[in-house]
Amino acid sequence: MTSTLDIKIEKTKKSKLSEFDINNVPFGKYFTDHMFVAEYANGKWEKAYIVPYGNVPMSYAMSSIHYGQTIFEGMKAYKDDKGGVALFRPLENWERMNKGAVRMAMPEIPEELFMNGLMELIRLDADWVPASESGSLYIRPFLFSTDEAIGVKISDTFKFAIIASPAGKYYSEPIKVLVETDFFRATRGGVGFVKAGGNYGRSLYPTKLAQQKGYQQILWLDSETNQYFEESGTMNVMFVIGDTVMTPAVSDTILDGITRKSVLALAREWGMKVEERKVSVEEVMTAHANGTLKEVFGVGTAATIAQIIGIGYNGKDYELPPVAERKFSNKIDQTLRDIRKGRIEDKFNWMVKVC
Ligand code: COI
């Protein structure tokens, strides 16, 4: 799929950059000077432009806010130790977004449109990429329907936009998670594998209840048997039991995480045993009881590697091994940072240079 659209660029008259300490900002609250937008109508991508960051002009009847025909991606740009800026595996985001677009009956985005818009935007706003050790520029590509229509139907018009926000850690501390047995994130045949807005909307109420009980996030179970782990909050989940790294296999209820597949690639390269399969609550609790459960952590673009230090299940709290003792996830965290900062060889060619 190709796109020959020229991107019209209107630069901001006054940068907001000096208003922030980009190395010290909360996640996702402040946005860079520019945004990329492409418009779809009449069966094709018609226009693409970069303009100063601003609001969406929209009707109160815009279909995406009523019926949720909206999907998004999360990706990051990093500043290396020499001041260069690179993206982490952006084509993986492009592919995943298009799989989501098909499932949600939305138009796919040509690779050239996605990559050119992204590269131009990040080149223009490169000074917004934090240089701090855990800093990055979080990039949010998203696609949403824009028909002014109350009837439930596939929209004829869409917008694809990319905005960006300087970010530090998503979770500033290791977290405690609650195994959720009453509410479910996804069902078979649904859109659990898609980064669809509704997947996140439906998680907010159960997460609020978990937070009221003192947990930061939820550890979701499968909705059919209630026995197998799926994901945790905003990330995939991994366990180290004995010397094996295990994680739920991706399916139509689980997001095919890019950090997830990067962690597994490194583990395999290091010669570790890796299992992608159904992981049951029972086996993890048994491993906890017999002392073989070494590590539990979340992996995601925003969360990077998020240590899980406690699990609540059926009214009981289970304390997990101290973070300092977690050899695998600490090494993964450091290695991913070293690749992104250009300190070690990028053997898998994950980084895509912007400038
Ligand atoms: C991401 O990790 O990029 C996500 O999309 C999670 C979240 C902030 C919704």
SS3 264: helix
Does the beta carbon of 259 lie inside 6 Å of ligand 1?
no
What domains lie within the chain, and their CATH numbers? 8-167 (3.30.470.10), 175-340 (3.20.10.10)
Does the beta carbon of 165 lie inside 6 Å of ligand 1?
no
Average pLDDT over residues 107-129: 98
Closest ligand 1 atom number to CA of residue 259 = 2
Does the beta carbon of 302 lie inside 6 Å of ligand 1?
yes
For ligand 1, mutation pick of 200, 234, 236 (most atoms within 8 Å of CB) = 234
Where helices occur in 145-184 by DSSP H, the ranges are none
Instruction: Kindly indicate the confidence band of residue 3, based on its pLDDT and cuts at 50, 70 and 90.
Output: low
Average pLDDT over residues 144-159: 98
- pLDDT value at 352 more than 60: yes
Q: What is the pLDDT of residues 30-64, one digit of tens each?
A: 999 999 999 999 999 999 999 999 999 999 999 99
pLDDT at 213: 98
Place of tokens 């299940």: 313
Instruction: Kindly indicate the confidence band of residue 4, based on its pLDDT and cuts at 50, 70 and 90.
Output: confident
Q: What DSSP element (H or E) covers 294?
A: strand 293-300
Please give the structure tokens belonging to residue 11.
């630069």
Q: What is the pLDDT of residues 199-221, one digit of tens each?
A: 999 999 999 999 999 999 999 99
Closest ligand 1 atom number to CA of residue 72 = 5
Please give the structure tokens belonging to residue 339.
């690749």
- pLDDT value at 2 more than 60: no
Q: Are 85 and 54 in contact (CB under 8 A)?
A: no
Average pLDDT over residues 325-353: 98
- Tell the residue nearest (CA) to atom 8 of ligand 1: 302
